[in-house]
Structure 1
Amino acid sequence: MGTHPNGPSVVVIPGKTDQSLSDWIKNNPDSLGSEPKTYFKGELSFLFKVLSVNTSLSVQAHPHKVHAAQLHEKFPDLYKDSNHKPEMAIALTPFMGLCGFRPIAEVAKFMTEIDEFRVVVGNNNAIKLIAASRSMDMVMHREVMKECFSGMMMQDKDIVKRELESLMAKVKSLDTNKGDAEKHVSDVLLKLSKEFPGDVGAFSIYFLNIITLVPGEAMFLEANLPHAYLSGDCMECMACSDNVVRAGLTFKYVDVHTLVEMLDYTGRSIAKTKFKGLEDGTDIRTTVFKPPVYEFAVARYEVPAGKNVSLPAMDSASIVILIHGEGNASNRTLSSPLHVKRGSVFFIAANEEVNVTPTSNILMFRAYTSL
C-alpha cells in the first residue's frame, strides 16, 4: 500500500477512471500535508504492508541514508533507489524473527557447547570471542563479534554444509524433554535447515536474538540492524524504499561483504529489541507506534461494535486498512458512508477527519508521516 513502483496502489473513485495513487497525489499535492509535502518533495514517505511469513525471509539489514545513496550510485542494478529503509513490524499473530546481536556471553556459550558452530566461525575467532566475553570492553566485544560473524558468513560452503548436516543429526536425536529455550533454538534450526539446506544463515541463530512477538507487539529495525522474519503475520511499515542487503537464508542475490561491513555488532537483550507503543486506555483501545524517524508512524485501533471512532485530521496523508470486522466510514467529502470490511484500504488526505462506525468488532491500522 503506497506509491513504490514495485507495487503501487490504485485509487478507485466511483464514477471515475481508476488511477495510480502516485498520479492522484501529483494532481492533489496538498493531500500530503504542508510539512511532508515540502520535506519529502511531493512524495508519499512510507510504504505499508500486510506480510504473511511461512518460509523464512533472508538474514538482512538496511543501509542508512548516506550508504544507500552510495550503493545506488555504485550498483544501480542491485540497489535501485537511493533512500534508506527503516522499518517496523507489528504482530497480527504470534510472530517470530531474528533481531540484533545477542549479548556476547550468550554467543560465547554457544561457541563453547556447539562444536559445529565453532568450526564454521573458525577456531581462532572463537577463542578470541570466548576470551573477550569475560571482559567489560564493549569496543572489543563489537570487534570480535564482527570477526566471528564475518568468518562464518565467508566460510567455505562445503564446510558449512558438512557442519550443518552434523549439527542437524545431533539436534534430531536430542531428548525432547530438554528445556524450552534449548528446544526453541533447535526447532528454529530445523526449520531453517529444511527451508534452505546447507545455508550458512541457519547458524545465524547463535549470533542473533530469536524474538517472539504476541499480537500487538512490535519491533523497529533501524539502519544496520541484522534481522530476519521467520514465521507469522504482521503489519509492516517502512520508508518508501526497497534497499536490502542480504547474506543468508535466501535464493536472491547476496552481498556478504557489504553486509558484514555495515552491521551494528552491539549485543543487546531480547527486551531491548522490542519497540513499545503508547496506549490509550479508553473503551477504544488505541496504540501509537512512533519510531525515531520522520517517514512513518502507525496507529493500531481496536474498536468494539457500537463504539464510533474518529480518525482525527492531521498534517499528513495516511493509509488505513481493516484487518478484522466491518462498518461504515464517513467524511465531509463523501456523499454517503463508505462500507468497509476485512481487507478494505482507504486513503485519508491531510487535514481530513474520518469517522468509522463499526457493525462488528474492528481491528484497523493507520500509517502516516511522522513529522
Structure 2
Amino acid sequence: MELQCKIQNYEWGKLGLDSTVAKLVVNADPSMTIDPNKSYAELWMGTHPNGPSLIIERDIHLSEYLKNNLDAIGPDVRRKFDVSVPFLLKILSVRKALSIQAHPSKAHAEELHKNFPELYKDPNHKPELAIALTPFEALCGFRPISQIKEYINKLPELKEILSEASVNALEQGAVDDSASLLKDVFQSLMTSEKNTIARALENVMKKLQSEDESTQSKLLYPLLKKLHSDYPGDVGCWAPYFMNYIQLRPGQAIFLGPNLPHAYLSGDCVECMACSDNVVRAGLTPKHIDVPTLINMLDYTSYQPNELLFVPQIEDPNSCIWRPPVPDFAVVKIRVESGDSYNTIVRPSPSIIIIISGKGEACDTEPIPARAGVVIFLKASRQLTLTPSDGEHIEAYQAICNV
C-alpha cells in the first residue's frame, strides 16, 4: 500500500530542490510544487501523531487502518508494542546544524515525562540510527581526553571561559577518572555566562581568521566559522573542541544510543528512531535548553570516531541490515540491479519502505510503480517483489521492528 507522508519544514533544512526530501517528494508526486525559498528538512514515514502517514488508496491514516487490521502488525510486534508501528522512518536534509542534544534512556524518559510533562511529552526513549545518503557531517560522542586538553591549551580564549579548577583537574587527573573530569570541564563550559561565551567566540574568530590554512584546519576554524555564522554567540559553537567531528560517506551510519551527545551539521540521511519526541538540548538552538538534566545524563565516555560507526550485516546479495541493540527498529538497505528481480525477506513485523533511486515495479498483492520517493507500507509476514525497469536499478530502505 502506497503512503503519502508528512514533510516538516524546519528552519535548518535545505532549501528547495537542494533538499533530498524535496527531490524525493516531487519525484513521487510531480503535481507537488516546490518553493525554492522554503526549507524541506524532514520526511516522516509512520504513525507519529505530529506527522501521520496516509494510505493513499484508502484515504485513511495508517494508524487508523492498523486498529482494524491487526494482522498487519503481527503477533510478535503486538506482544511487545501493542497495536502500533513503534518506529519512525525519516529522510533528513540538513543545511545548518541541529541542536547539540542527547536522548534519555527508557527509565529516564519515564521519569522526565512524569515530572516535566510540558517539556518531555512522552515516556519513551529515542534511540536513533542515521545512514548517510550524501556526505554527512555530525558531532558525536566526546573526543579522547588528550585531544580536548590539546584544544584547551592551544585556545586561550576557550581556557579562559572554563573554571580553573576543572582545567587543572583535567590536566592532572588520572586516566581511570576521565569521565568525571570530562563532566566537570563540560559543565563549566555549559554554565558559563552568556556574554563571556559570546565575547570569547568573537576573540577566537578574529585570531583564527588571520592564521594560515594549516593552523585553521587543525583548530577547526572552518567548522567554528560556520557554526558561529548560523548561531552567533552560542555556547554550542565550542562543542567541536569536546566532541568528535565525524564525516560520513554515503552508506556509512552512526547509532545514537541513550545519553550520547550529538548534533547533525550538514548533509542528507535516512534516519530511523523509536517513536518519541524526547530531546534534551544543550546549544545551537533557539529551543528550550535543559543544562542540569543534560549534564547529569550524558555519556562521558571518550570515543575514537571509528568506534562510533555502526556497521551493517550482509543478509543476502541484495540486502544488508543495521540491527541496533533495541527492539523498536532495524533498517535494511536493498539494491536490485537491471535484469534482476528481488523478493524481500519475510519479517514478523510491519515495515515501511522508501525507494531512494531508480525505477521499476513493486508488487505485494497489487503492483505499484516504484520510483524514487515512493513510500510503501508492507504488512507483517508479507513479501514485496522489486523489479527494476530495463536498464534501471532500484535502491530502497526498509524499516522494521527488531523483534
TM-score, length of structure 1 as denominator length = 0.94
Checking the alignment, whether the CA contact within 8 Å between 1:321 and 1:346 is kept in structure 2 is: yes
User: 1:122, CA displacement in angstroms?
Assistant: 2.0
Consecutive unaligned residues of structure 2, counting only runs of 5 or more, are 1-44
Which one of 251, 271, 274 corresponds to residue 306 of structure 2? Answer: 271
- Alpha-carbon separation, structure 2, partners of 1:178 and 1:141: 28
> Unpaired runs of 5+ in structure 1?
none
Check whether the contact 2:93–2:267 (CA below 8 A) recurs between aligned residues: yes
Paired position in structure 1 for 2:202: 165
CA RMSD of aligned residues (A): 1.3
Q: 2 CA distance for matches of 1:368 and 1:32?
A: 11
**Distance in 1, Cα, partners of 2:211 & 2:51:** 45
SS at match of 1:228: strand
Between 228-237 and 355-364, report the one with greater CA deviation: 355-364
Report deviation, 1:120: 2.0
Q: Distance in 1 between matches of 2:162 and 2:360?
A: 55
**Aligned 8 A contact 1:30 1:37 in 2:** no
Asked if the contact 2:282/2:290 (under 8 Å) is kept, the reply is: yes
Letter in 2 for 1:198: G
Give the CA deviation at 1:85. 0.3
Match of 1:306 in 2: 339
Aligned residues: 357
1:341 alignment counterpart: 371
The residue type equivalent to 2:111 in the other structure is Q
In structure 2, C-alpha distance between the alignment counterparts of 1:265 and 1:203, rounded to whole Å: 17
Identity %: 43
Are positions 1:215 and 2:250 aligned together?
yes
Report if the CA contact (8 A) 2:343-2:384 is conserved. Answer: yes
Please give the secondary structure, in 1, of the residue aligned with 2:118. coil
Instruction: Indicate which of 289, 306, 323 corresponds to 2:322.
Output: 289
Q: Which AA in structure 2 matches 1:92?
A: L
Contact 2:272 2:399 in 1 (8 A): yes
SS for the counterpart of 1:261 is: helix
Partner SS state of residue 397, structure 2 = strand
- TM-score, structure 2 length as denominator? 0.86
Residues 1-371 of structure 1 mapped to structure 2, 5 A cutoff:
1-13=45-57, 16=58, 18-132=59-173, 135-137=174-176, 140-178=177-215, 182=218, 185-280=220-315, 282=317, 284=318, 286-331=319-364, 333-334=365-366, 337-359=367-389, 360-371=392-403
Distance 1:280 1:238 in 2: 21
Report the Cα offset of residue 367 of structure 1.
0.3
SS of residue matched to 1:325: strand
Greater shift after overlay, 146-155 or 301-310? 301-310
Q: Over residues 334-357 of structure 1, what are the superposed CA-to-partner deviations in whole Å (9 max), with x where a residue is unaligned?
A: 2xx111211000000001111010
Shift of 1:273: 0.9
AA of the residue aligned to 2:398: R
Shift of 1:179: 7.9
CA contact (8 A) 1:86 1:222 kept: yes
> Does the Cα contact within 8 Å between 1:218 and 1:275 map onto a contact in 2?
yes
Q: Return the alpha-carbon distance in structure 1 between the equivalents of residues 281 and 334 of structure 2.
A: 34
Counterpart of 1:79 in structure 2: which amino acid? Y
* 1:56-82 Cα distance to aligned partner (Å, 9 max, x none): 000000000111011111111111111
How far apart are 1:281 and its partner, in Å?
A: 6.8
| 1:6-59 CA-partner distances (Å, limit 9, x unpaired) | 11111112xx4x011111111112211211111102111100000011010000
Q: Is the 8 A contact 2:136 2:249 kept in 1?
A: yes
Q: Cα distance, 1:230 vs. partner?
A: 0.2
Q: Secondary structure at the match of 2:169?
A: helix
Q: Which runs of 4+ in 1 moved over 6 A?
A: none
Q: Which amino acid aligns with 1:313?
A: V
